[in-house]
Structure 1
Amino acid sequence: MHVLTDADLELAENSLRELFPESLKVYGYLLNINRRKPHNQMVISDAWPDFNVIICKQKQQRSQDREGDFNIYSIYSRDRESLKKLLSSDGALDWSTFTLLGGVDINHIDAVKELCAHQNITSKIEGIMFVLMLEDLSHLKEPESIPGYQIVPLSVEHTDLVNSTWKYGGNQNSYNSVRNYISNYPSWCVMDCSGRPVSWVLLYQHSALGLLYTLPEHRHKGYAKMLISIMAKQLWEMGYPVYCFVEEDNEVSYQLFTSLGFRHKPDYRAVWFQLNERMV
């Protein structure tokens, strides 16, 4: 197991840029780490510089945000045997605690299942995702003037509202994550005349679009398409990849993003895989 230094991280970012879409989640983390965004990540690989696996994991376990609460590992792997070998190495993974492996190549998931069986721990697939990436801006929606509303970035005073509507929100750790996203990464919202957001989109620490939400009474007005388009153009100009994760059974989100030109690799899915039961 090799722990990547600051110099290694710069080189890894350049290498992973050539390996989309499989590398997107890890690449997105490295992009922000290398730009000195706040983080609690250490990055390990199976070898260096000729790596087959790179994993971003928490430095401080159980940090007071969703990433620490869920003990999320972000994984890029070229092949299943290399992934299996790194996860088996000393210090790579704590097999005794709840862990969520994020972005495992579906073609390599059997290797993780074999390790779990060997360790005699419970495990399950939590979600299977399309990795939708935008490489052509021609289908994006042009911004429109909305009488009585503004299109502006979110501010930290909106953290409670975003946290209360987030699928993974509703507690203090998720609140801390949302506040971090708003404070350190791009975000956009449609805001009414009272200063209340009615629709919004944020960016995760791994650079994926997320937390997209429109209040029920404001839906079917094209707000989500417009906000995604604005965010996509901004990220494109910043040199960021423009991508998101959409669960296989989320037809509404899939149709929304593909209508704007997002596409996925036909034989690739990213798996979120749970080790051990989470203690609530």
Structure 2
Amino acid sequence: TMLILTCPAQLQRLEGALRRSLPLALPVHGAVMNINRGNPGEFEVVVDSWPDFGAVLARRSGEMPVDDCYRNTHAAFYRDVGAYRGLLETPGCLRWDTAFHIIGGSGGELGSTGEHWEHGTLGEPLVIWGSTRGWPLLTANPPRRLDPSVRVGSLSPSHVDLLNETWPYGGNSRSRRYLAELLRCFPNLCLQDGAGQPLSWCLTDHFGTGAHGYTLPAHRRRGHMQAVMVLAARRAQARGFFSFGHTATGNRPMQRLQEELGHQRLPGLCRFVLHNPGLGRAGP
């Protein structure tokens, strides 16, 4: 069975229930928080039953583009793998003729499920980072003193090409549209030089996740990313959100920075499971 939760009271209750299941429910919880605060990403949540649910899927509402797995990224949380499998297999839960990602909490049984999907592949495992001091993170470490010419600001839509070129998972027209959507709908933070050009930045996605943290190579080793991470965490807390993100397993510099900021590597790994029936097919 599958139920789409549309009642505000239901969604508020779901947010509270997911909060009690942190940190494994972080991506779904962030999506529900965004839905309950104006729904800028135009998402919805489906459950296998209500109010005693065993599985939750946060997905984009409305019509989905067929070959765009960037914009069709879902988040899953389940208490029972059988309920989760049953939810995904319910007609109408997923558009199996489209490309999509599903991101899970610990990546354990979620990965095993993904291995059996037709056209399904396991994406790169990512390290999940959160707080050692409870939820939300209260960052005690002040950022390193920066050059007086560096200013705190925000990215604008005009920076989308820079973001697309510097994102390891980007570089194409679909990723560009996705990044433009993040810029339009969700908070971001950047450090700028005296001319207003971005030096270092971090975005936020539909799930409240810190995304695309990057410093231009010529400006590294100056404490810029540390400052961005601390300031972004404080702004997230001010909005009631948690501070968390994903880091590639081979990205040791970012992992060390997270440790220095008091973040904790959470149990297990997170996997983005990709379903793409048109893999390899050219598209716009």
TM-score bin, normalised by smaller chain:
0.7 to 0.9
Which residue matches 2:35?
33
Deviates more, 1:22-31 or 1:257-266: 257-266
Deviations 1:137-188 (A, max 9, x none): 3553336342322122222332222222122333343333323323332222
Deviates more, 1:132-141 or 1:13-22: 132-141
Unaligned runs of 5+ in 1: none
**Counterpart code for 2:120:** S
Change (3 A) 1:64 1:186: farther
Query: 3-state SS of the aligned residue for 1:174?
Result: helix
Which residue matches 1:14?
16
Q: Does 1:128 align with 2:125?
A: yes
| Overall identity of the aligned pairs, in % | 26
- The whole-number CA distance in structure 2 between the counterparts of 1:6 and 1:164 is 40
Q: Is the 8 A contact 1:143 1:230 kept in 2?
A: no
- The whole-number CA distance in structure 2 between the counterparts of 1:123 and 1:259 is 36
Offset of residue 123 of structure 1: 2.3
Deviations 1:187-220 (A, max 9, x none): 2212112221111111112111111111111111
**Counterpart code for 2:224:** Y
In terms of fraction of residues, the more helix-rich structure is 1
**Number of matched residues?**
273
Query: 3-state SS of the aligned residue for 2:211?
Result: strand
Change (3 A) 1:148 1:66: farther
**Counterpart code for 1:127:** E
**Counterpart code for 1:24:** L
Change (3 A) 1:17 1:131: same
User: TM-score by structure 2 length?
Assistant: 0.87
Q: In the TM superposition, what are the counterparts of 1:70-219 in structure 2 within 5 Å?
A: 71-103=72-104, 105-109=106-110, 112-113=113-114, 115-116=116-117, 121-134=118-131, 135=133, 136-142=137-143, 144-219=145-220
Q: Is the 8 A contact 2:153 2:190 kept in 1?
A: yes
Which residue matches 1:275?
275
Offset of residue 104 of structure 1: 5.1
Q: Is the 8 A contact 1:163 1:178 kept in 2?
A: yes
Change (3 A) 1:127 1:6: farther
Q: Is the 8 A contact 1:150 1:190 kept in 2?
A: yes
User: TM-score by structure 1 length?
Assistant: 0.88
**Counterpart code for 1:132:** W
- The whole-number CA distance in structure 2 between the counterparts of 1:128 and 1:16 is 23
Superposition RMSD on alpha carbons, in Å?
A: 2.3
- The whole-number CA distance in structure 2 between the counterparts of 1:170 and 1:65 is 14
